Amino acid sequence: AQKITQTQPGMFVQEKEAVTLDCTYDTSDPSYGLFWYKQPSSGEMIFLIYQGSYDQQNATEGRYSLNFQKARKSANLVISASQLGDSAMYFCAMREVWGKLIFGQGTELSVKP
Amino acid sequence: SAVISQKPSRDICQRGTSLTIQCQVDSQVTMMFWYRQQPGQSLTLIATANQGSEATYESGFVIDKFPISRPNLTFSTLTVSNMSPEDSSIYLCSVPPGTSGYNEQFFGPGTRLTVL
């Protein structure tokens, strides 16, 4: 069965420092996609970054990068130069079937000034 | 990228009543997805809404409780029927990537429902 695991319920980081949010997944399908979303207190889901299972390079989007280790089935999100506005819930998700996402439990990130 | 709107953005309802949530997309999509996020929890897929056919429900969700309509390729509704406080959640619709963006999957802004 497909599964996404985020083992860090909460994380703290000092402003301007980098932080890594962990995500591991389990699937038997060779073709899948991995996503990270940010959810502020307003409740909206903000797409951050995507990694395809066949992508050779780690995905990057501005201050966000995805540390994709396929053999270990991990897809950790790295946020560089943290900002106060980065404080939010972060969800890792996996897509196998078109459009259907399975989400991890989420990590609440707090950025300290 | 698709622009998705939802109505209402939030509502407070009495138990036993029903609420219909609307999802509008600015482009035609074959599938639309409805998710539920209970307080303090992650997102769970309720159903897939296909135009021209009945919705496909995930395990634990039934049509009598969450009827879905999909009258055209840009619009869908989700009804939460005979509500109880356990239905208090954020409900979000989502569409798969279009031809211009395989790597992105977007969500509507969500409907925050409180059942008293």
Q: pLDDT, tens digit, for every residue of B7-32?
A: 999 999 999 999 999 999 998 888 89
**Mean pLDDT confidence for B51-65:** 92
Predicted local distance difference test score (pLDDT) of residue A68 = 96
Query: Which neighbouring-strand residues pair with B115?
Result: B13
- Dihedral pair phi/psi, residue A80, rounded to 5°: -95, 155
Q: Residue A37, class by beta-carbon neighbours within 10 Å (0-12 exposed, 13-18 middle, 19+ buried)?
A: buried
Rounded Cα gap, residues B61 and A78, in angstroms: 35
> Is the previous residue joined to A113 through a cis bond, with omega within 30 degrees of 0?
no
DSSP strand pairing (B106-107 vs B89-95) = antiparallel
Contacts of B104 in chain A (CB under 8 A): 47, 50
Q: Are residues A99 and B96, on separate chains, in Cβ contact within 8 Å?
A: yes
Q: Has residue A67 got a pLDDT over 80? A: yes
Q: Has residue B100 got a pLDDT over 60? A: no
Predicted local distance difference test score (pLDDT) of residue B51 = 84
DSSP strand pairing (B56-57 vs B68-72) = unpaired
Rounded Cα gap, residues A63 and A54, in angstroms: 23
pLDDT class of A2 with cuts at 50, 70, 90? confident
Q: Give the residue on A whose Cα is nearest the Cα of B30.
A: A99
Q: Are residues B43 and A105, on separate chains, in Cβ contact within 8 Å?
A: no
